[in-house]
Chain A
């Protein structure tokens, strides 16, 4: 039980309030209300820490904490209380850790923004939108049901659109914002359909209630096909949000926004939501009861997309010269690692469940461990890149070089981040990436396909180290190739860098006091296994392999970009090499293909629909309208001619008759008297006549 559970709401309400205040009056505040955003985020962070510490105190380590739902209010009431839709928060190990992670990174990024955005126009807009963005992510990770998760998820989608297009007067930024919104929309629609299917099958959207109803509904209501479909639809949403193949195209272009926004999107929010959603989808992937056949197909799809995307994105990062885009591709690649880990872990767990063995959630823990570590070092790398861009006013690495002298703090911080990203001991990336790879290798025992995915992962580890240090050497090593006078960023920007640099070491090593990350974040039962301690010798070898290839990649980057012993031109000298280089710089032509698809198929379809709309629908509407006019005209004529004619004729005749009749009223009293007398005579004559006639007829009858 969380003491004072209502304070959890304020984790969301503080940044939401900041959004409202800054959005309304931010322009009149100093720094565009940036201090309010930072203050609100500090409050959120403190409250998140409070909740997290309570979770730890109540046995969060080792699975002692019972997940708690904090009731909010009933949004859509229903006759049956269990089917009404409620807005309430879920506090368990995962969500409490995510709240701390998100609020902490958002706080650091907001502080950094105070320096980075200092000279920008529209600061109030920026701070209002990032505050809403933070609200969206905090709400996503604390949602108690899928609908609430979707709502906050869409808030993030909106904010990403607004922030990527922050410099909306720049055509590239406006296009990138549209692209991000439209591409993620494809995934969001799948997610929405998934939510509707869940509602239809389970009659509830809450995570815990779904898990409870699972066994009773299988296999009649919840058919095996549906059990495969639901996680795939949810994963479709994750693919869009987390920029996995084939919906990866938006993320590199999203670099058009301010660098802090990139850091926000890549480190703490947005793309991590997809991984979080897939982790929550484990209730479908790994059923608790062995009576339920786990959806192995869905798991394989998740793992395969993860495994493929990780190498796919890493290759594109190798050839890019934009410092932020290299990091963007690396984000796609690292997120793919997480999906690979989730997939491999789910496959192992599902196999164990269906065999009735004890479940080992190592893959789940490893993937979320990587999410945790990646959040820190990717925030560091982006904020470092922002610091570099702030100093040299360009994104192009060809115009950098030798910046370690003017930017000592930034260069060292980015070296830490690079080592973590490359996965070099003892930096955090080493632990989580190594674990993911060894889990993937272990899953190969259940399905040999995972050996291939493992090979892809190892190849990526090599490329990751290579492109990371290509970036670092090109930026900080050698001679300065630009024309600026770079100098170190202000304190408010370097302080977050130093803190994050510390965390690249700490977030990995924190696993030791926790008794292994799997002791805190797990699916099913806690797995107390320290990284590199108490696991089979084979895994030492696997972790060694992953680090070995990373060192090789680092060495190659050193040879090519630092000492220039191997000239970079040698790779593109042969025709095949040149083709591959071209293919990679063109991003496998996928973006072009999407554009062409949009230009031809979508545009033509839109034109056809437009034609249909104008000619057919409008024609029908206009026809109905014209018919109405004709009918109304006829009715009008009938009204005027027939109805009015009858009325007028009656009144006219009345007038005419009365005109004639009144001439008989002469005022001559004696003429009236004549009429009276004549009337009397007629009456008398009639009376006599009738009685005479009667008598005469009676005489005849006799």
Chain B
């Protein structure tokens, strides 16, 4: 059995990688992928605490989270596709038309 600390450490690392991707990368697809990584980091936490405490409800939440992540990825990809069709780019520093 893997100790809880390692799992939490892995989760924290994933979160950091995801945050870096969201904040630093300009490509919209990469940002979307990074958001998936952050989500998976939290889902890993659910699973880790579930096995640690022997309670199955964490795994239920994990499955719900995966379903939400899939839906979110679908919506996000559709949005970026639409942006690409109208503006010809998905570089986030160029997509700045939602402002005053």
Q: Which residues of A line the B interface, CB within 8 A?
A: 662-663, 665-670, 673-674, 677
Contact = CB atoms under 8 A, between A and B. Distances in A.
Contact of B22 (A662, A663, A665, A673): A673
A679 to B, nearest CB: 13
B19 interface: yes
Contacts of A663: 100
B98 interface: yes
Nearest to B98: A667
B60 interface: no
A673 B19 CA distance: 9
8 contacts: A662-B100, A665-B100, A666-B99, A667-B97, A669-B31, A670-B93, A674-B23, A677-B23
Nearest to A669: B92
A667 B22 contact: no
B22 A670 contact: yes
B93 to A, nearest CB: 7
Interface in B1-42: 19, 22-23, 31
Contacts of A677: 19, 23
Given A668-B96, A670-B22, A673-B22, 6 more contacts: A667-B98, A668-B99, A669-B92, A670-B23, A674-B23, A677-B19
B95 interface: yes
B79 to A, nearest CB: 11
Nearest to B25: A670
A673 B28 CA distance: 13
Chain B interface residue number, banded = 10 to 19
A670 B100 CA distance: 16
A113 B94 CA distance: 114
Judged by DSSP, the binding face of B is loop
B92 A667 contact: no
A666 B19 CA distance: 20
A661 B95 CA distance: 21
Contacts of A674: 23
Contacts of B98: 667
B91 to A, nearest CB: 11
Nearest to B35: A673
Contacts of A669: 31, 92, 95
Contacts of B31: 669-670
Interface in B73-100: 92-93, 95-100
A670 B96 CA distance: 10
B84 to A, nearest CB: 15
B26 to A, nearest CB: 8
A673 B31 CA distance: 11
B93 A668 contact: yes
A665 B100 CA distance: 6
A112 B19 CA distance: 127
A670 B97 contact: no
Nearest to A668: B96
- What are the nearest 4 A-B pairs in CB distance? A667-B99, A667-B96, A662-B100, A667-B98
Contacts of B95: 667, 669
A657 to B, nearest CB: 14
A669 B22 CA distance: 10
Nearest to B99: A667
